[in-house]
Amino acid sequence: MEQDSRAGAEHFDHEECLEHRRFLWQPFLRQLYVCTVCTSIYFVLGLCFGAPTVFIPQLRKEANSSSNPLTEDMASWLSSILGYCSMPWVIILPILTQYIGRKIPFLIVTVLTLVSFIVFYCSTNPTHLLVSEILQGVTLASNMTVLIVIIVEYSSPRYRGVFMMIESSIFFWGVWIANVTGTFSHWRNIAIIAFVCCLYSLTAIIMPESPSWLAMKGRFEECAKAHHWLKGHHKESEDELESLIKSQKEYLRKRAARVKTTSWYRLLIIKETVSAKGFYQPLLLSMGVMSLYHFSGKLVCSMYAVDLISAITSSESAAYTGMLILDAVTILGMQIGCVLSKLINRRTLLLSSSALGIFFLFLISLYLYLISLNVIVENKIVSIVLLTSFSVAITCGPMIMPSTIFGELIFLRYKSSSLLILTLFSELLMATVLKLSPHIFKALALHGAFLFYGISASIFAFILYKYLPETKDKTLQEIENYLNFKAFINEKPDNYNTQKR
């Protein structure tokens, strides 16, 4: 009898262990699959950004032997048109994600991206490439609308930060692969890589709709089913599901109690939304994070790497070598940042890496200024070391963390409108910075341009130091509660002393 009891207990423990493993691994693998489907498009977006760096020099060489030269104006448009052409999609995609869900807009983005690279592959002149980049506007717009929403809403708090960091690093893997492909072969081969990635992303047709969106629409049974498919049935998952459904039921109840059809009422709702602290505070903080990223000058250095290093070292061969080194170091810095994000708080990592990157911006500016005065002699190795040190510092924080931070800060009920405004702001800022950068380099010289980026980044870093909260390992509902009430439930965070007023 006692033996049977022991055997039964062992059998029960074995079954419990198997059940625990199933709950541990199956949800993780499903979330990882969703992450890889989205990061395939991030990788393709990296190809979009990296391609002009290599096809512009190739087009210039081809133009030298023809009667159709590539003008500086056309070259700057090929580097910046992507941002401006994302504007219409920045408006369209949030509307689609609000009303028809997350999955269908993602599939639309994937199909249009595939079409854009078919045009890219068939291009024979700069005008054709311009058309291809106009079509790729939807890919860039999806970066801060559909893709971030999917990764944030489909992943558990314990994995979300890592998935978002992977997304940022995958983007620069795409930039590096595009540069390597264009350096050692014809630029058209970049399109073949994009085809494969887009075909894999089309498998997203099998994944469920977002549990958060289903809850927001009052479809709670479907929400629970999708949530369990993604995150399993363990206690942590059930608590998150219960909190999500409870929050959305309360929100829907309040909204139903106030349903009216008058235009004045609708204007009142818009006014209340815009003036709500939960709307404008996360939005302004997110704008600050994005501004820090763009005004750090790292994206400019990546897009104009060949021209920039050629101007510093006066050597075309050193420029191509330096470009590949910078891209490789950028990826290395992002992987280091991903590891550090699991060990260090998000706010600490962002601000410390920003401070180090700003220090190198001022150092590079001083170095180039002394060269211009003939006080010191330019050294190719020193120049590339300074640029790579700057790249490592910026990529550890400001480059990989913006999407993670604003993906976590923005409230679910304001997500569509906030992401619409934030994406319009970010893409317009990015396109304008890229378009004006050649003029800044020309007007201020290289040392003045790096000084400009250093001062600009310092301003935004100080603002974030003063107001940005910590979000690591918090559920979206906990973050929302903190921003509303300045405290996490059952918790006294040590990282928010700077937030108390």
Domain boundaries, the chain: 14-207, 213-259, 262-501
Statement: residue 64 has pLDDT above 90 = no
Residues with Cβ within 8 Å of 337's Cβ and at least 6 positions away in sequence, in order, are 165, 169, 349, 353, 395, 396, 397, 399, 400, 401
Which single residue is written with the structure tokens 């699959």? 33
Mean pLDDT of 221-230: 89
What pLDDT score was predicted for residue 12? 40
Percent of the chain past pLDDT 90, that is, above it, reads 20
CATH class held by domain 14-207: mainly alpha
Q: CATH classification of 262-501, choosing from 3.40.50.10070, 2.60.120.380, 1.20.1250.20, 1.10.760.10?
A: 1.20.1250.20
Structure tokens at 459: 């301003």
Which single residue is written with the structure tokens 């790497």? 305
2 band by pLDDT with thresholds 50, 70 and 90: very low
pLDDT tens sequence across 127-136: 889 999 999 9
What pLDDT score was predicted for residue 63? 67
Question: pTM higher than 0.85 for the full model?
Answer: no
- Largest Cα separation within the chain, whole Å, is 96
33 band by pLDDT with thresholds 50, 70 and 90: very high
Write the burial class of residue 29 (CB in 10 Å: 0-12 exposed, 13-18 middle, 19+ buried): exposed
Q: What is the helix (H) or strand (E) element at residue 158, kind and residue range?
A: helix 157-184
471 band by pLDDT with thresholds 50, 70 and 90: confident
What pLDDT score was predicted for residue 490? 37
- Across 5-9, 76-80, 148-152, 469-473, the highest mean pLDDT is recorded for 148-152
